[in-house]
Structure 1
Amino acid sequence: MKNAWHLRLAAGTVAIAVVGGIGAYAATHTTAETAAAWDAAWSAAPQLPSIGFEPNWAQTGFDNQTVRQVVRVTDGGTAARITLSNLYGNGPLRIDHATIARTAQGAGVESNTLRDLTFQGDTVAKIPAGQALTSDTAGLQLAPLESVTVTLYLAGPTGPATFHSQAYASTYRTGGNHVADPAASSFTEATHSWYYLTDIQVSGPSAHHGGTVVAFGDSITDGFGSTNDANTRYPDRLFQRLTDAGTPRPVLNEGIGGNLILNDSQWFGESAVKRFERDVLSKPDVDSVIVLGGLNDIGFSEIDLPTYKPNPQVSVAQLIAGHRELIAAAHRAGVKITGATLLPMKGAEYYDDTSAAKIRDLNTWMRTSGEYDAVVDFNAAVADPSDSEKLNPAFDSGDHKHPNNAGYQAMADRIDLGKL
């Protein structure tokens, strides 16, 4: 893919600005770092600090605490680097010490793989508000499907923390500086969100350097209803399918629970059309994106709850226009874009005659217009055979809107790998 991001990267630009979110979002690299060939191995979309659906540490932030985060990569290499985001910070962010290591179990790491991370040669990372910073290279052997642990020590008060709310993975915390501690015993607190960490990239002979697939959408892409720490979201299952087929490619999950196609939300991130450049097209070597979105635009307008705001009535024509913006942006960047039909949700709080009709109409456009390069019919993959408006009970997480682990597998199985 030869978009503007890659051209600037190849030119050795020191500060790279990505349009999207609040103001300019800059990911800073050294010139030497930009000269290396890097591939995306894992990513998560940053969000404004908020309460979320379960307790998290985003609004209070950190002070003399160590945060340990575990993620599973979808590409391997002999070197790694991370990106930390202060996009929603209310002031500069200081990371006093950071390490990366292969994961042992839970909050434990393999001690012989612990590597200090530096940032432009300094062990301290200083990230202005509204920006991001990428670390220097750390020599670390990683394989696809391996878990990697990033640990951050924050000596002073950070203020509210840029985070990813619904990680469906455990993040651990303890007091004091424990970044170099391989044991899990000190890390007695946990949440299911990620903090500051938005990207892990790999380099080396085994890295793919091309063909990255991005799954882009809302909570169904994010993995709501999947088992924590089990990596059973549909993008996880898709990567496993690609691997089993002998055609492994990195798969990034850029879902945000509650995300809307057309409107920004305090809880659920910038709109899909606004964050598409930052969260999809700016990633290295993206060739393909799967878009699943619109259910919240339709559903929020049918109920009146504080968290489901903004909730204006949104027409199918307006949603189609939003999807067309995503299609055009992908095509300008030379990226293949696949549209996904919305899932059925009869019995969910969103469901009524109006929302049901909008889902049917949007799905009909998706299937028949030919505007997306390809279409994956997730609706058909998980619908109840006896009632197409409902999730198949075998695939229902319990809220009649989000799939369970089996449902996410059915979604991944529906994707034609040859059309990605």
Structure 2
Amino acid sequence: MATLGRRALASALGLSLMAAGPAVAAQDRWVAAYAFAPSSAAGPAGPASAPNPRDVRGPLGPDVVEGVTLSHVVTVTASGQRLRLRLSNAYGAEPITLGAVTVHLGDMTREVRFNGERSSIMPAGAPLVSDPIDLAVAALDQVKVSIALPQVTRLPTHRWRQTMRGADGVESAPMRLGALLAGIEVESATPPGVIVAFGDSITEGTGALPDGPGGWPERLAARLVEAGRPWAVINAGIGGNRLLHQGSGPSGLERLDADALVPAGARCLILLEGVNDIGRPSRPQYAHQAVSAADLIAGYRQVIRRAHAAGLKAVLATVPPFEGANYFTTEGEAIRQAVNAWLRDQTEADGVVDFDAALRDPVAPSRLQAAFHSGDWLHPSDAGYQAMAEAIPLDACD
């Protein structure tokens, strides 16, 4: 009798929890509306590059700062009545002391608090999520986030275009600085699904003009908003990233969960990654990490399975041409062609986007169209990124 009583109680409790589960989930209205993937210096270091004064993203800023305020202007891709910030010190070896953090939208400014306090300490190796901020935003609004760093701070290795203001109040010209802002989430009564654009510099948007619409993820977000489709898009690209090996940060397979599968509201993954896996081994310091088409295909299959296990759809993209880039080889081109043939024919993913077909020169298909590259035969131009965004069906993740 006692055993039956315990079983009956456990059964009733289980039914109660099952009934409560969806109700609790329905109250969780937060979705990711902006992302910037943290990175690290893991993996072999490439040869140092000379500073490029013509880089449209601005000059490199300092690695270590003190007594400054960094400001970062971003575009959110979902609407909501409140928002909250996600900062990250995921790969930092020391805690980071934060001073005042503020959010600006038009002529409105809001102070940001963390556990009720205006200042906070972000532990080493961890993110920090703010308290909710009463500030309504609309999809495609530009939000400025300013972060004061009163103490000596080593910035993250993944850089983005920011300005820096010192004690004299003078704000610098935009420069590339390590970014502490890893995401913005919005609270919405009708939250959209979130598409995570995952990949390397061609996803991050290298080559796009800094004051323009951005790379293909940002342009896809604008298309979806204009069409009234219930999707937000976040960009989880990291320049130099590879699917299978570290170097320019953790590998794609290593960072997949944190950057693509667990952001709030994530429902679909669009993966574009592989050109660095193919090209980098032509350089001596990466020769021991040569990959085959079979290696990349096995990696793609892992992404598909892990995305499906997390409840996300997986849409894969073909690898665009790269003849003329500084690590192109005929052997690498053969691997790219074999990988793309598999991507087009496989039925394991939920869809395929043919970026190769959208960007290649019809006369020389191992090259990008001249109008579609930004000067290095690897990274698209603004016109190239627009062609990529338009190659993605608006119902690709439905």
**1:18-417 superposed matches below 5 A:** 36-48=28-40, 55-57=59-61, 59-60=63-64, 62-103=65-106, 110=107, 113-158=108-153, 160-165=154-159, 167=160, 170-176=161-167, 186-193=170-177, 195-205=179-189, 208-265=190-247, 268-304=248-284, 309=286, 312-417=289-394
CA displacement, residues 187-239 of structure 1 (integer Å, 9 cap, x when unaligned) = 1243134521001011143xx42311010000110111110132320001111
- Stretch moving more, 406-415 or 241-250: 241-250
Shift of the 163–148 alpha-carbon distance from structure 1 to 2, 3 Å rule, reads: farther
TM-score, normalised to structure 1, is: 0.82
TM-score, length basis structure 2: 0.86
Q: Secondary structure at the match of 2:223?
A: helix
Q: Aligned with 1:250: secondary structure?
A: strand
Name the aligned partner's letter for residue 295 of structure 1. V
Letter of the aligned partner of 2:363 in structure 1? S
Aligned partners of 1:345 and 1:250: how far apart in 2? Answer: 30
Deviation at 1:395, TM superposition (A): 0.7
Could you tell which deviates more after superposition, 212-221 or 410-419? 410-419
Is the 1:340–1:376 Cα contact (8 Å) retained in structure 2? yes
| Number of aligned residue pairs | 364
Aligned to 2:4: none
Amino acid at match of 1:302: S
**Percent of aligned pairs with the same residue?**
37
Whether the aligned pair in 1 keeps the contact of 2:113 and 2:130 (CA below 8 Å) is yes
Q: Deviations over 1:290-316 (max 9, x none)?
A: 001111011001123x6xx47621111
Find runs of 4+ consecutive structure 1 residues off by over 3 angstroms: 49-58
Q: Which amino acid aligns with 1:259?
A: N
Contact 1:75 1:202 in 2 (8 A): yes
Gaps of 5+ in 1: 1-6, 12-33, 104-109, 179-185
Is the alpha carbon distance of 1:194 and 1:201 closer, same or farther for their aligned partners in structure 2, counting shifts above 3 Å? farther
Report Cα offsets for 1:322-374 as digits up to 9, x if no partner: 11111110010111000100001112222221011000000011011212111
Secondary structure in 2 aligned to 1:122?
Answer: coil
Pick closer, same or farther for the CA change 1:64–1:230 going to 2, 3 Å.
same
Amino acid aligned to 1:244: E
Amino acid corresponding to residue 130 of structure 2 in structure 1: S
- How many angstroms apart in 2 are the aligned matches of 1:74 and 1:296? 28
**Root-mean-square deviation over aligned CA pairs:** 2.3
Deviation, 1:388, is 1.0
Q: Quote how far apart the aligned CAs of 1:59 are.
A: 2.6
Change in 2 beyond 3 A, CA 1:97/1:163:
farther
Structure possessing the higher radius of gyration over alpha carbons = 2
Question: In structure 1, how many angstroms separate the alpha carbons of the residues matched to 2:251 and 2:213?
Answer: 26
Amino acid at match of 2:63: Q
Q: CA separation in 2, counterparts of 1:310 and 1:325?
A: 24
1:14-65 deviations in Å (ceiling 9; x for gaps): xxxxxxxxxxxxxxxxxxxx975211110010122698876434632x2111
Aligned residues of 1:41 and 1:252 also touching (Cα < 8 A): yes
Q: Provide the C-alpha distance between the structure 1 equivalents of 2:267 and 2:27, rounded to a whole number of angstroms.
A: 21
- Post-superposition offset of 1:243: 1.8
Checking the alignment, whether the CA contact within 8 Å between 1:218 and 1:258 is kept in structure 2 is yes
2:283 maps to a residue whose letter is I
Aligned partner of residue 259 in structure 2, secondary structure:
helix
Q: Which has the higher helix share?
A: 2
